[in-house]
């Protein structure tokens, strides 16, 4: 039981660390988003080639509040905004 608990905590720690606010910020600002708030890791929001899954809440150009995930890779893949 103790091993399962330690393994679970380790997995949660690893996955919650796989966000990249810098890439997410660049992608969101380039698309005209303002008042950006990062809300953690997007568990099932991205594809298999994406390493970083950064959830966000922001205001779009029309003034609407939107929520989504910025998906990005480690080195060669750019960032994609998903809703």
pLDDT in tens, 3-14: 766 565 555 555
At 22, phi and psi to the nearest 5?
A: -65, -50
* Residue-wise DSSP of 9-29: HHHHHHHHT---HHHHHHHHH
* Strand-pair category, 79-82 with 65-72: antiparallel
Domain residue spans in the chain? 2-82
pLDDT tens across 60-83, in order?
A: 999 999 999 999 998 888 999 999
């Amino acid at each position: 039981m103790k091993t399962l608990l330690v393994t679970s905590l380790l997995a949660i720690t690893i996955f919650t660390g796989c966000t990249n606010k810098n890439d997410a910020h660049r992608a969101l600002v380039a698309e005209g988003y303002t008042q950006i708030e990062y809300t953690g890791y997007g568990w099932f929001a991205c594809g298999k080639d994406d390493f970083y899954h950064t959830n966000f809440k922001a205001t779009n150009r029309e003034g609407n509040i939107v929520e989504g995930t910025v998906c990005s890779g480690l080195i060669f893949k750019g960032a994609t905004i998903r809703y």
